[in-house]
Amino acid sequence: MKLIKNQKTKESIFKLIFAMTAVFTIFAVIAIIVFLLYYSIPAFQKIGFFNFIFGKEWNSSSADTYDGEMQGMYGILTMIVGSLFATSGAILVGGTLGFFTAIFIAEFCPKKLKKIFSNAINLLAGIPSVVYGFFGMRVLLPLLGNFSANGDGSGILSVSIILGIMIMPTVTALSTSSLESVDRNYYEGSIALGASRERSVFKVIVPASKSGIIASIVLGIGRAVGETMAVVMIAGNNPVFPTTLFSSFRTTTANIVMEMSYGGELQTGALIATGVILTFFILVINICFNMVKKPANSTSNNKFMVYLSGIKQKFEKSKFLNIKSESLTRTKFLTKSRHLDIVAISLKHFSFISAFLGIVALLTTIIFIFVNGFPYISSELLFGEFNYGGDPSIFSSIVSTLMLVFLTSLLAFPIGIMAAIFLAEYSKRDSKLVRLIRLMSETLSGIPSIVYGLFGMLFFSQLLKLGTSILAGGLTLTLMIIPTTIRGTEESLLMVNESLREASYALGAGKLKTIRRVVLPSALPGICASVILGISRMIAESAPVLFTMGASIKPMPKNFKSSGASLAVALYALGREWMHINESYATACILIILVLLLNLLSQGIVKVLGKRIKGA
């Protein structure tokens, strides 16, 4: 009896711990919003909310304070317009290529190549954004400079191309999943009623997966709006309205990065207020994403049944029509059918071209950096001593990155996994608390990295007086990694067969023991994959640690309270210096190798552990 009582007490304690980790996401979102608003409200009051949003001039002054007369101008309309132009161009490039590449992979790609294409897209999705920005700065800008009036190639066109290449893997991967999840009965029914393969794909499969495709594009919009480092490196960053494809312009995220390091009191407040506006935009995008990602209901299914019924009626009408009396009607129908087939075939060919262009663009980025960087990976670069003004060494950045990954992993993964256990195993899925936790978790995952950097600077570096340190950077990154860990772990837990849990309960095991001995081992492949992908993101992130760890290569860190530059920040610092071009390429090459190896390791672990679990 006492043993049973102790077991129940233990169950209750761990359930409470799991619940507290899940509720942590709510407090994290509230803290981010409250702190940003607290520090930005004085700026809104001084400048005027509408003057700030609709002002067309940004001419900041570090001497401006909240009390004295304002000397500078703080209007962000030009940067909002710049962000909209950049995002629109990115979706036009990356959304189009990603959508048609997904159609090629899901419907027209040969089976032998399908797996290669899918794995390549998934791997390329993990390349750090700063690498794309570096490629754009060193390759794309000089190329476009031959056609631009300003001579340097910066502007909307360059940003649209780079951001488009960046978001293409995301759009492709999610759209492919959506297309492959459509009930094949729709496709087979269309084929059986006389429609061509191409027409069936574009008239049946694509409309049936519309919500998933739109959701992938909305997610791409969110990434494009929140992108920082790549845009800073190629946009030109002039705070004016863009008038041509080669006009230098500035986005809201770039504005924060460029001026935060030397901002005065009011200028800093205005930059934080820019982060608030950016967060609001992202929240609106996330709400739209949640609205369009809902599964299709029976009403939408009925639309496809009606469409197939229409095909059947027209097919039968054309087959049994009296040619002598109604030859004109039959001719019109057949002509229209041929026209639709020609359009569908043309779209099919465009999907082939899109897949080719997308893969070529992505691989060109990697190959170019490898060719120019690999020969310059030397022991001196990797393990040399830090020397101000001398040949650069990234050894201190490698150590700082390892310390950052260790600290963030120690905090983020336990919290994320325990929160996922609560959501998957203990919670009632329709309860208000669970819905709120999921909403807050999705909100955390959608907040731009630059906003995390602002919060980390205000809360960890300034309020908690941690300064620019690896500790502040690790705590900031923890908030970013938790929601992705929750999502990946929860999906893995939910995929565990319910019969395994029931068998464990039938043998007398309690809830906690079943989770520990049955559920977690079965979900281990997915959990390990989410952990490795989380580590990959830690290495790739640059904007959050730029504000919390340091913006330049530092000496070897002594402890977690020391400042330092991660590898991504080191690439950003070296890439802006023409004296160290070779070292920049080498650093980019190392970053790509690390991220791709981690992604390959993630896929390998899923396969190996998955086979072992099935064999057991």
What residues pair up with 59 in beta bridges, in sequence order? 73
Amino acid occupying residue 160: S
pLDDT tens digit string along 54-74? 999 898 887 878 887 888 889
Residues 20, 234: Cα–Cα separation, whole Å? 43
| 556 token code pair | 């070897």
**Beta strand segments in 397-476, E:** none
Residues 609, 497: Cα–Cα separation, whole Å? 16
What pLDDT is recorded for position 356?
87
User: In this structure, are residues 229 and 251 in contact, taking their beta carbons and an 8 Å threshold?
Assistant: no
Region 437-449: mean pLDDT is 81
Do 74-374 and 377-615 fold alike per CATH? yes
* CB atoms closer than 10 angstroms to residue 6: 10
Residue with tokens 């210096």: 577
Question: How far apart, in Å, are the Cα atoms of 486 and each of 491, 504, 607?
Answer: 8, 24, 21
CATH number listed for the domain at residues 377-615 = 1.10.3720.10
Mean confidence (pLDDT) of the chain: 81
Residues 197, 178: Cα–Cα separation, whole Å? 19
User: In this structure, are residues 174 and 215 in contact, taking their beta carbons and an 8 Å threshold?
Assistant: yes
| 165 token code pair | 């290449």
Region 487-509: mean pLDDT is 83
Longest dimension (CA), the chain: 93
* CB atoms closer than 10 angstroms to residue 240: 17
User: In this structure, are residues 382 and 395 in contact, taking their beta carbons and an 8 Å threshold?
Assistant: yes
The SS3 call for residue 530 is: helix
What residues pair up with 74 in beta bridges, in sequence order? 58
Cβ neighbours for 559, distance < 8 A, ≥ 6 positions apart: none
Share of the chain above pLDDT 70, in %: 86
User: In this structure, are residues 241 and 78 in contact, taking their beta carbons and an 8 Å threshold?
Assistant: yes
Q: Whole-prediction pTM value?
A: 0.83
- Domain borders along the chain are 74-374, 377-615
What does the DSSP assignment read for 77-138? Answer: HHHHHHHHHHHHHHIIIIIHHHHHHHHIIIIIS-HHHHHHHHHHHHHHTTS-HHHHHHHIII
Q: Does 123 have pLDDT greater than 80? A: no
Q: How far is CA 412 from the centre of its chain?
A: 18
What b/e string do you get for 27-55 counting C-beta neighbours within 10 Å, with b at 16 or more?
A: ebbeebbebbeebbeebbebbeeeebeeb
Q: Provide the 8-state DSSP code for 296.
A: P
For the CA atoms of the chain, what is the radius of gyration?
A: 27
What pLDDT is recorded for position 340?
56
Q: Which CATH architecture has domain 74-374?
A: Orthogonal Bundle (1.10)
What pLDDT is recorded for position 560?
92
What pLDDT is recorded for position 608?
67
The helix (run of H) or strand (run of E) holding residue 58 is strand 58-59
Highest mean pLDDT among 263-277, 289-303, 321-335: 263-277
Q: Does 209 have pLDDT greater than 60? A: yes
